[in-house]
């Protein structure tokens, strides 16, 4: 096959990588907008209740944003390796590149970034996604990558997770991702219920819902943990191999689950031992002071005269004249 302008004619140009995940950006923007909106009304809250109210707001929005965002992230398990490897099939050209593998709940992202980016008259900067969520066909996505002529390192890594691969990890990752995603959606619902209960000052049941949220989050991690410990085929690039480890989304989800667990336990324990302090934290310590009427201004029994005069003892003199209608 002859070259045309320095590249093989049946290969399309490099696909540009989008700088960030739009779904994650939308979720973060929505939660930040809610936070800014409530910060604007923060000066209207008086006393020390302002600090407690702000802390409850930040913690609540943080937990909800994390539980919702990690559903769409692709860095539950990540790995990078730098290697000299062949770039495309039917070519002897070698490139030096960083090869990244990012495993999420909904699929796999394979990244290829040249060192430097511009090599062999091409821009080597790829980020390809191969989904396995409901309604998606991983093998079909892989076949489309073959038809597009994606670089060989990307296809080599993606092939390890196909259904036809002898590694046999596709089914484990797919099922674990489905169950982890389901439990996280349930955790998001229980988080919403806890926020509703706290706003209605039903503190004990709100704490119970936080504990349930923490349990669901930790169960989602357990589902993903089971696949992480399954044996995997080595992903070898010459003398080096691509190894993966838990990513940012996994650790962030773990921290959020532990935070929900601690807050839920704290609310339940305080409600049992020191409910006054719990009411103080939730700004419910304002006792309704009964208005005390001055007895000197209370009228006595009216008389039967034309111009009724209400008389009280001399020590508490307060004379009121009432005109008969």
For residues 59 and 179, membership in a common domain is answered with: yes
**How confident is the model over 113-123, as a mean pLDDT?**
87
- Residue ending a domain, choose from 144, 168, 192: 168
Give the pLDDT of residue 290: 35
Distance CA 88, CA 145 (A): 12
Mean of pLDDT over the chain: 80
Task: Kindly indicate the confidence band of residue 7, based on its pLDDT and cuts at 50, 70 and 90.
Answer: very low
Distance CA 221, CA 51 (A): 33
**For every residue of 50-102, which 3-state class applies, written as one string?**
HHHHHHHHHHHHHHHHHHHHCCCCCCCEEEEEEEEEECCCCCCCEEEEEEEEE
Distance CA 198, CA 202 (A): 6
Whether 90 is covered by a domain: the verdict is yes
Whether 10 is covered by a domain: the verdict is no
Whether 94 is covered by a domain: the verdict is yes
**How confident is the model over 273-292, as a mean pLDDT?**
65
Whether 7 is covered by a domain: the verdict is no
For residues 133 and 156, membership in a common domain is answered with: yes
Whether 321 is covered by a domain: the verdict is no
For residues 216 and 69, membership in a common domain is answered with: yes
Distance CA 23, CA 93 (A): 37
- Residue ending a domain, choose from 120, 150, 168: 168
Q: Tell me which residue of 268, 263, 216, 271 sits closest to 56, measured CA to CA.
A: 263
For residues 177 and 272, membership in a common domain is answered with: yes
Give the pLDDT of residue 68: 92
Residue 140: C-alpha distances to residues 26, 157, 188, 198 (Å): 28, 15, 32, 47
For residues 149 and 50, membership in a common domain is answered with: no
For residues 102 and 42, membership in a common domain is answered with: no
pLDDT in tens, 57-90: 889 999 999 999 999 888 899 999 999 988 887 7
Distance CA 271, CA 290 (A): 26
Give the pLDDT of residue 277: 83
Residue 321: C-alpha distances to residues 82, 283, 312, 325 (Å): 99, 46, 12, 13
Place of tokens 């670089």: 151
For residues 273 and 183, membership in a common domain is answered with: yes
Q: Is the pLDDT reported for residue 321 higher than 80?
A: no
Give the pLDDT of residue 190: 95
Distance CA 214, CA 186 (A): 11
Which segment of 99-103, 211-215, 290-294 scores lowest on mean pLDDT? 290-294
Q: What percentage of the chain has pLDDT greater than the value 90?
A: 36
Who contacts 317 (Cβ-Cβ below 8 Å, separation ≥6)? 296
For residues 62 and 163, membership in a common domain is answered with: no
Q: What is the dihedral of CA 127, 133, 137, 141, to 10 degrees?
A: 0
Task: Kindly indicate the confidence band of residue 313, based on its pLDDT and cuts at 50, 70 and 90.
Answer: low
Whether 291 is covered by a domain: the verdict is no
Q: Is the pLDDT reported for residue 255 higher than 90?
A: yes
Whether 298 is covered by a domain: the verdict is no
Whether 163 is covered by a domain: the verdict is yes
The count of domains in the chain is: 2
Task: Kindly indicate the confidence band of residue 261, based on its pLDDT and cuts at 50, 70 and 90.
Answer: very high
For residues 56 and 188, membership in a common domain is answered with: yes
**Distance linking the first and last C-alpha atoms of the chain:** 115
Contact 241, 234 (CB under 8 A): yes
Give the pLDDT of residue 23: 77
For residues 121 and 192, membership in a common domain is answered with: no
Q: Which domain range does residue 153 map to?
A: 77-168
Contact 79, 245 (CB under 8 A): yes
Extract the runs of DSSP E, i.e. beta strands, from 201-317: 235-237, 240-242, 245-246, 307-310
For residues 118 and 102, membership in a common domain is answered with: yes
For residues 176 and 256, membership in a common domain is answered with: yes
Q: Is the pLDDT reported for residue 288 higher than 70?
A: no
């Amino acid at each position: 096959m002859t070259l045309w302008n320095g590249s093989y004619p049946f290969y399309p140009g490099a696909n540009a990588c989008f700088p960030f995940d739009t779904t994650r950006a939308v979720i973060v923007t929505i939660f930040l907008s809610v936070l800014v909106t409530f910060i604007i009304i923060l000066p209207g809250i008086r006393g020390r209740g302002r600090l407690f109210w702000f802390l409850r707001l930040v913690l609540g929005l943080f937990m909800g944003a994390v539980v919702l965002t990690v559903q769409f992230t692709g860095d539950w398990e990540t790995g990078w390796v730098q290697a000299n490897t062949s770039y495309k099939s039917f070519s002897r050209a070698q490139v030096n590149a960083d090869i990244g593998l990012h495993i999420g709940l909904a699929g796999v992202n394979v990244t290829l970034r040249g060192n430097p980016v511009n090599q062999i008259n091409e821009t080597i900067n790829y980020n390809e996604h191969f989904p396995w969520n409901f309604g998606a066909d991983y093998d079909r996505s892989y076949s489309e990558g073959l038809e597009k002529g994606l670089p060989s390192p990307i296809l080599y890594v993606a092939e390890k997770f196909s259904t036809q691969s002898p590694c046999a990890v596709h089914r484990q990752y797919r099922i674990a991702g489905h169950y982890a995603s389901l439990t996280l959606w349930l955790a998001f619902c229980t988080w919403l219920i806890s926020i509703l209960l706290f706003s209605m000052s039903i503190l004990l049941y709100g704490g119970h819902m936080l504990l349930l949220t923490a349990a669901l989050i930790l169960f989602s991690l357990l589902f993903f943990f089971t696949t992480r410990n399954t044996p995997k085929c080595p992903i070898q690039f010459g003398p080096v191999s691509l190894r993966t480890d838990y990513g940012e989304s996994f650790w962030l989800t773990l921290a959020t689950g532990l935070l929900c667990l601690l807050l839920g336990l704290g609310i339940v324990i305080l409600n049992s031992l020191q409910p006054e302090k719990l009411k103080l934290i939730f700004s419910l310590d304002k006792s309704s002071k009964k208005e005390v009427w001055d007895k000197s201004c209370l009228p006595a029994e009216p008389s039967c005269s034309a111009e009724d005069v209400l008389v009280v003892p001399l020590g508490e003199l307060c004379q009121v004249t009432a005109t008969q209608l």
